[in-house]
Amino acid sequence: MNSEQFLQLLRRDSFPEPVEVQQAPKGWLGIHEHPFEVKALIVEGDITIVIDGLSKNYKAGEIFHLEFKQPHAESYGPEGVKYLASRKQ
């Protein structure tokens, strides 16, 4: 998916405009949650998200979705990751 398609998806699902997020190479965050729902498009690099013990890796052009207050952990590939994230309250 490209960024224009992602923006159309966000509008369709009533998500606000996204912000660009960058994370450092080989970084990680232990289990945490956010007080919002997230849809994000990977622009560069990759991110691995672990939910309920299941790990999934996302690369450029792929979207990840986190529900409101969904516990998860995340780690970033050797190039780090850059993504467009939209957060819906």
Coil, strand, or helix at residue 10?
helix
pLDDT for 48 equals 98
pLDDT category, 11, cuts 50, 70, 90? Answer: very high
pLDDT in tens, 17-32: 999 999 999 999 999 9
CA distances from 88 to 28, 46, 75, 82 (A): 23, 23, 22, 19
**How many Cβ atoms from other residues are within 10 Å of residue 82's Cβ?**
17
pLDDT in tens, 29-45: 999 999 999 999 999 99
Q: How far apart are the first and last CA of the chain?
A: 24
Q: Which CATH class is domain 3-88?
A: mainly beta
pLDDT for 14 equals 96
